[in-house]
Chains A and B, each alone.
Chain A
Amino acid sequence: MSGREPPEPELVVEIWRGRESGEFVPYRVARRENQTVLDVVSHVQRRIDPTLSYRFACRVGMCGSCAMTVNGIPRWTCRTRVDRVAGNGRVRIGPLRNMPVIRDLAVDMAPFFDKWQRATGRFVPSDADNRRTFARVPPGSRERQAADAGIECIGCGVCYAACDVVAWNSDYLGPAALNRVWTLVNDSRDGARREHLAAAAGDAGCHQCHSHQACMSYCPKGLNPTAAIAGLKRETVKSLLRGEL
């Protein structure tokens, strides 16, 4: 190498160290082509400070475990390119908002998933004894399309971290759990429509949502929990008027 090579471009990355209280610690990381935010965090943990705690698994946007707050916005870090977020050569990475910090960038997602259970976000077969072998579901039907629109959720918690109502009311079920319930309400094979709607209509349910649309703005899968929640608002009101709730 000749001495006239330009210095390797560097990125100053500030990473949250600590628990609920702590501080952002700066690290210098070499800039690479097509580098993701997760690459940067992994580099810091492998080469600079092995005590850094964070979480990831698939690295290809499927598992939903790598979400962090990047320059104030919740993102899936394995699919977020540094080029997109580091305009001024600085990146600040923190844990997701609205969940207890375990350490550094790892948050406790148990409250998030507990709420899926509280929202009855699980499929209940209407045909439990399997007498009917195949359910016929026309793919083009209105209900199936509504269910399909929300089905690709990877449980990353980005929407939940972006939602102010979760921040204001820690009981609020949140966009992901309610989006899941909406897919079930529209699933003709599900046998617990009334339970789903009752759970969604509760004190901590869909009627808490202010339609801020932060969830849909940042969902990495491009889902629209706001529309799902609006659907739940309509269906719960209709069921109430029909005397079904």
Chain B
Amino acid sequence: MGGMKYAIASRNHPVYWAFVLHRASGLALAVFVPVHLYTLSLAVREAARFDAFLEWTENPLVKGGEALLVLLLAGHLAGGLRLLALEFLEWRDWQKSIVAITLGIAAACGLLFLMNAP
């Protein structure tokens, strides 16, 4: 029999999930930022290709993807502020509520983006 492969159930608590989301959104943004900068550079160098790209972004699927990115960015930002508050302000016992507030802020930003999307 191999090593001790049993589920680590101790990870299943809200603040751990907040950590997982923060890490995942960070990685996703790290992939997105170079793409973002590249397309911006197109606007300067090759206006025609950039316009074609902008047309592509009118596609509802791409719009959904953009909303997801806004959600990730807002979530990562709010999560970072949560950590700074946790570590540099006095301890507060309502940590789970702080995680919920963080998620709420991210969701609100995502919704605002979708509502303002043409």
Determine whether B37 belongs to the interface, using a CB cutoff of 8 Å to chain A: no
B112 interface residue (CB < 8 Å to A):
no
CB proximity of A191 to chain B, nearest CB, Å: 26
- For residue B38, CB closer than 8 A to chain A, the reply is no
Q: Which residues of B contact A218 (CB under 8 A)?
A: 10
Within 8 A of A (CB), among B4-18: 4, 6-11, 13, 15-16
Please name all residues of chain B whose beta carbon is closer than 8 Å to the beta carbon of A227 when the two chains form the complex: 91
A71 near B9 (CB under 8 angstroms)? yes
The CA of A73 and the CA of B7, in the complex, are separated in Å by 9
Which one of A18, A23, A97, A101 lies within 8 Å of B8 (CB-CB)?
A97
Contact B10 A162 (CB under 8 A): yes
Q: Which of B2, B9, B13 contacts A72 (CB 8 A)?
A: B9
Q: How many residues of B sit at the interface, in one of the four size bands?
A: 20 to 34
Cβ of B11 and Cβ of A214 under 8 Å apart? yes
Write the nearest CB–CB distance from B101 to chain A, whole angstroms.
16
List residues of chain B with CB within 8 A of the CB of A212. Answer: 15-16, 19
Chain B residues with CB under 8 Å of A71's CB are 9
Contact residues in A for B3 (Cβ distance below 8 Å): 20-21
Contact present for B87 and A234 (CB under 8 Å) = yes
A residues less than 8 Å from B87 (CB atoms)? 211, 230, 233-234
Picked from A21, A73, A230, the residue with its CB within 8 Å of the CB of B10 is A73
In the complex, whether A74 has a CB less than 8 A from a CB of chain B is yes
Does A92 make an interface contact (CB < 8 A)?
yes
Determine if B4 and A20 form an interchain contact, defined as CB atoms under 8 angstroms apart: yes
Inter-chain CA distance A18–B3, complex, in Å, is 10
Contact-residue size bin, chain A (C-beta under 8 Å from the other chain): 35 or more
Q: When the two chains form their complex, are residues B4 and A230 in contact, meaning their CB atoms are under 8 A apart?
A: no
Q: How far is the CA of A217 from the CA of B9 in the complex (A)?
A: 12
A143 close to B (CB within 8 Å): no
In chain A, positions 215-235 with a C-beta closer than 8 Å to chain B are 217-218, 224, 226-227, 230-231, 233-234
Give chain A residues whose Cβ lies under 8 Å from the Cβ of B95: 213
Q: Is the CB of A18 within 8 A of B1?
A: yes
**Cα separation A233 to B91 with both chains bound (whole Å):** 12
Q: Is B47 an interface residue (CB 8 A)?
A: no
Q: Does A164 contact B (CB under 8 A)?
A: yes
Residues in A with CB closer than 8 Å to B94 are: none
Contact with B along A139-166 (1 / 0, CB 8 A): 0000000000000000000000110100
Query: Beyond the given A214-B11, A224-B91, A233-B88, could you list 16 further A-B residue pairs with CB under 8 A, ordered by the A residue number?
Result: A18-B1, A21-B1, A21-B4, A95-B4, A101-B4, A164-B11, A210-B19, A211-B19, A211-B86, A211-B87, A212-B15, A213-B15, A226-B91, A230-B87, A231-B91, A234-B87
20 contacts across the A-B interface (CB closer than 8 A) = A16-B4, A20-B3, A21-B2, A21-B3, A72-B6, A72-B8, A72-B9, A73-B10, A92-B6, A94-B6, A164-B11, A211-B83, A212-B15, A213-B13, A213-B15, A226-B91, A230-B86, A233-B87, A234-B87, A237-B88
